[in-house]
């Protein structure tokens, strides 16, 4: 699976999630998924979700405008041409409910709304596009298991947070429900309404948006102290600390220092941090695992703890983290 890169706050860049396009089968190719596993063939993806809307020519502009306050995902699919693309859309409907307004899902049936597909120059289906501040950015172009989708969207949400994009959408009519194809589209809760922000995370997210990483660490630490099981706060704290450690660091200088001193703990962990932020997650993990393998005593323990902190920043359920944990165990024992 193609994974979400991490980057410093600024213009969001989700392009590394883009995957090679899958060939679109001829009409009728592939059997629809059984009830309970996706959407019925020929229809809109099953729901319900208060954070998904069927996109039409009439409400398309409103859906795009909704991205000015919080992220929008557009899922392009066709039950007629590729039933599996409808299954993907159905899984995204399910996940949109889980994320509770962190993004609004717009479902675009390219057979029912071909003009939208043409206007956005859709090369193939399925295609999932993120829209932030009206700017579309491809995420992925293939059918993924729902567990991998959940991991990818969690990483997208984390990156949005680090870049100060913290708005949430108001719940609305569920996809496929009366009003969800137009009247219940974005704007039903008020065109000018400001998307709500979960008040628990607002101080930390505001600090990240301001580039005040010290304050962000402090705010996330309060949340984790109050509820150590708050996975979003734990991940936010790990990312805020990562941004705090690397603020103002010159990558080229740091990499040259690490190359000159391969066993220097501080130099190696700093480059691992920078690699992670640059989207080179596996490289960051490998650097620290090899450092663990070469060191001993307190230095080895420090390198191990640093690596575990990076696991938290990426997400402990991420496949790359699970793989790296196995490699770390081998290096230790």
| Residues 291-333: tens digit of each pLDDT | 999 999 999 999 999 999 898 888 777 788 889 999 999 998 7
Separation between Cα atoms, residue 283 and residue 240, nearest integer Å:
20
CA-to-CA distance for 265 and 165, rounded, in angstroms?
A: 34
Report residue 323 as tokens. Answer: 């793989």
Backbone phi and psi for residue 234, each to the nearest 5 degrees, phi listed first: -60, -45
Q: What is the pTM of this model?
A: 0.47
Domain with CATH 1.25.40 in the chain: 202-332
d(Cα 209, Cα 9) in Å, to the nearest integer? 7
Task: Please report where in the chains the tokens 């993924």 appear, as a residue.
Answer: 144
Q: What is residue 12's three-state secondary structure?
A: coil
CA distance readout (Å), 93 to 44, 129, 158, 180: 10, 14, 20, 13
CA distance 294 to 332: 10
* H/E run at residue 76: strand 71-77
Q: Give 155-213 pLDDT, tens digit per residue.
A: 787 777 766 677 788 777 544 433 344 433 333 344 444 444 568 888 887 887 777 88
Cα gap 313→16, rounded to integer Å: 18
Enter the CATH code of domain 202-332: 1.25.40
Confidence of residue 12 (pLDDT cuts 50, 70, 90): very low
Instruction: Flag whether pLDDT at 81 surpasses 80.
Output: yes
Stretch 149-156: mean pLDDT? 84
Angle, helices 297-314 vs 231-246, to 10°: value is: 120
Q: What is the CATH code for 15-162?
A: 3.40.30.10
The structure tokens 């920078």 sit at 274
How buried is 194 (Cβ within 10 angstroms: 0-12 exposed, 13-18 middle, 19+ buried)? Answer: exposed
Q: In what order do the strands lie in the sheet with 52-54?
A: 52-54, 103-109, 71-77, 127-132, 135-140
Q: Which residues contact 17 (CB under 8 A, 6 or more apart)?
A: 2, 3, 4, 5, 138, 139, 140, 152, 156
pLDDT tens figures, 237-278:
888 888 888 888 888 899 999 999 998 999 999 999 988 877
Running DSSP on this structure, what letter comes out for residue 318? Answer: S
The tokens describing 257, both together, are 């220092």
CATH 3.40.30.10 residue window(s) in the chain = 15-162
SS3 136: strand
φ/ψ region of 83 (left if φ > 0, alpha if ψ in -120 to 50, else beta) reads: alpha
């Amino acid at each position: 699976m193609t994974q979400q890169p991490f980057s410093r706050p600024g213009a969001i860049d989700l392009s590394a999630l883009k995957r090679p396009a899958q060939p679109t089968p001829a009409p009728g190719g592939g059997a629809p998924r059984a009830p309970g596993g996706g959407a019925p063939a020929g229809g809109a993806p099953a729901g319900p979700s208060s954070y998904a809307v069927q996109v039409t020519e009439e409400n398309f502009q409103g859906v795009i405008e909704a991205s000015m306050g919080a992220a929008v995902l557009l899922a392009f699919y066709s039950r007629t041409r590729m039933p599996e693309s409808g299954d993907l859309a159905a899984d995204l409907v399910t996940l949109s409910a889980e994320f509770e307004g962190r993004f609004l899902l717009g479902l675009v049936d390219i057979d029912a709304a071909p003009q939208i597909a043409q206007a956005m120059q859709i090369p193939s289906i399925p295609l999932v596009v993120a829209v932030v501040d009206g700017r579309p950015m491809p995420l992925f172009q293939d059918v993924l298991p729902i567990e991998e989708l959940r991991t990818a969207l969690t990483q997208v949400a984390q990156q949005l947070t680090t870049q100060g994009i913290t708005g949430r959408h108001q719940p609305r009519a569920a996809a496929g429900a009366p009003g969800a194809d137009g009247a219940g589209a974005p704007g039903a809760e008020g065109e000018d309404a400001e998307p709500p922000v979960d008040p628990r995370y607002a101080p930390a997210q505001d600090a990240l948006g301001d580039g005040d990483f010290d304050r962000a660490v402090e705010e996330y630490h309060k949340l984790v102290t109050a509820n150590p099981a708050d996975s979003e706060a734990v991940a936010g704290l790990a990312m805020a600390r990562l941004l705090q450690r690397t603020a103002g660091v010159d990558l080229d200088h740091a990499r040259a220092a690490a190359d000159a001193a391969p066993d220097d703990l501080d130099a190696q962990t700093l480059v691992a941090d920078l690699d992670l932020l640059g989207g080179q997650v596996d490289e960051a993990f490998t650097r620290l695992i090899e450092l663990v393998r070469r060191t001993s005593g307190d230095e080895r323990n420090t390198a191990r703890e640093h690596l575990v902190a990076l696991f938290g920043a990426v997400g402990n359920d991420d496949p790359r983290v699970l793989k790296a944990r196995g490699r770390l165990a081998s290096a230790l024992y």
